[in-house]
Structure 1
């Protein structure tokens, strides 16, 4: 049976349009983050401030901007959410599945209201 209407592939459906020229918003943010990191590092070097500020400015600006720009932030967020979510999983083994197929038959002489000796 034929379907009416159009079907779109996911890749086309999630297409990001260019904001500045052909660059998407993610690419613009990535370029601005990298440029900001380099400018901060250059200013720190020119004023001969401590090296820790140089490395700190680069570490806090360039990697987050780069990760966001190449769309790895979604994958990292998914992994972190998976690791931090408390999950309960039930596994069925062959031994358990064999037991579950037969009906439960209690032993003779044992009643539900009987309790073990508490001595």
Structure 2
């Protein structure tokens, strides 16, 4: 027996609840990652360490946190999985079409758009 409204509630299952106030866990991780990157960059600049460390600390903390925070990681994961997956596709060749014995050849004078009546 089918549940009443089961199709309606599928979209609600994907809803993320707020962890801190109205912010979801992804948003909290994004803000913490950005704050960590800015804090590391500030400490590096205060101690006058090489500027490459400054840029590396920003590049390695802020973009990944931002990508995770706006849910782009799921789309990137799907694209990478699709590109790297070994995909087997079957194609009809001329040799295989001879074995079908004209099963899909329409009769003369009949078109897809013509009315059957």
Alpha-carbon distance in structure 1 between the residues aligned to 2:64 and 2:44: 20
**Gaps (5+ residues) in structure 2?**
103-117
Aligned to 1:101: 100
Alpha-carbon distance in structure 2 between the residues aligned to 1:68 and 1:85: 23
Moved beyond 3 Å, runs of 4+: 95-98
Secondary structure at the aligned position of 2:18 is classed as: coil
Could you say which structure has the larger radius of gyration?
1
**Gaps (5+ residues) in structure 1?**
104-119
TM-score, normalising length: structure 2 = 0.76
Aligned residues: 100
TM-score, normalising length: structure 1 = 0.75
Aligned to 2:15: 15
- Displacement of 1:100: 2.8
CA RMSD of aligned residues (A): 2.0
